[in-house]
Amino acid sequence: LESSLLTQPWTSVCFGKSTFLAKACFKDSGYILLISDLSSVWYESTNPEVVGQRSKELNKRLTVHVSSLLRHLSRLMSPLLAGEPNATTSFSCHHVAGGLSLHIKSELSGLPFYWDFHCCPAPPEMVSRHLLRPLIQMSLALRYQVQELTSLLLQKDAEIEDYRESGATLSR
């Protein structure tokens, strides 16, 4: 799951007045969610057994196969992560002792559906792999682009000066 999460982009999400960066990956083998307020980074990674147990605790009247539940969670989170939250789904976020809790309220098959993501602090290696290294690589790539553009501008300036010296009149 975590290697699949590396290919997911970070997106800006808002819960009330708080803005976060988040990314997630849902598969039949579970899900992984990574969320950051740029001061801290939290994550939750689960397997089908945890998903099934949590569903029984939060949705007592709902009986659904775990793979269907994971697909439903993915459908609920996808619009949020695409910057187009669904009006029928509500999200709330709360800081809890040592972590972050993300609560979802929606419907599944006409019944109320609730879900809680219980996120704990992400280990330093995960923060480095998913946030720091990509940011540093992007910074280096942008720096290289600036150097290339500066070089092109200097070449163009030299061409313009060469035209002037050869007696050409420039319109601009």
For 42-69, write each residue's pLDDT tens digit. Answer: 999 999 999 999 999 999 888 888 999 9
CA dist 31 and 50 (Å) reads 10
Residues 28 and 80 in one domain: yes
Residues 118 and 142 placed together within one structural domain of the fold: no
pLDDT at residue number 108? 83
What phi, psi does 51 have (nearest 5°)? -60, -45
- Global pTM value: 0.80
Q: Which of 122, 137, 160 marks a domain boundary?
A: 122
Which of these, 32, 42, 59, lies nearest to 114 by C-alpha position? 59
**33 shares a domain with 4:** yes
Q: Are residues 8 and 75 in the same domain?
A: yes
Tokens 């792999």, located at residue: 129
Instruction: State the residue range of the domain holding 75.
Output: 1-122
Domain count, the chain: 2
55 and 43, same structural domain? yes
Are 118 and 134 part of one and the same domain?
Answer: no
Q: Shortest CA distance to 51 belongs to which of 29, 76, 75?
A: 29
To 5 degrees, how large is the angle CA 59–CA 64–CA 69? 85
pLDDT for 167 equals 84
Which residue has 């569903």 as its token pair?
55
Pair 55, 67 in one domain: yes
Instruction: Tell whether 78 and 112 lie within a shared domain.
Output: yes
- Asked whether residue 101 falls in the same domain as residue 40, the answer is yes
Residues 118 and 131 in one domain: no
> Could you tell me which of 154, 135, 131 has the C-alpha nearest to residue 22?
131
State the Cα–Cα distance between residues 110 and 96, nearest whole angstrom: 31
DSSP the chain: -HHHHHTSPPEEEEETTEEEEEEEEEETTEEEEEEE-SS-EEEEEE-HHHHHHHHHHH-TT----HHHHHHHHHHHHHHHHTT---TT-EEEEEEETTEEEEEEEEEETTEEEEEEEEEEEPPHHHHIIIIIHHHHHHHHHHHHHHHHHHHHHHHHHHHHHHHHHTTPPP--
Which regions of the chain are under pLDDT 50? Answer: none
- For residues 113 and 137, state if they share a domain: no
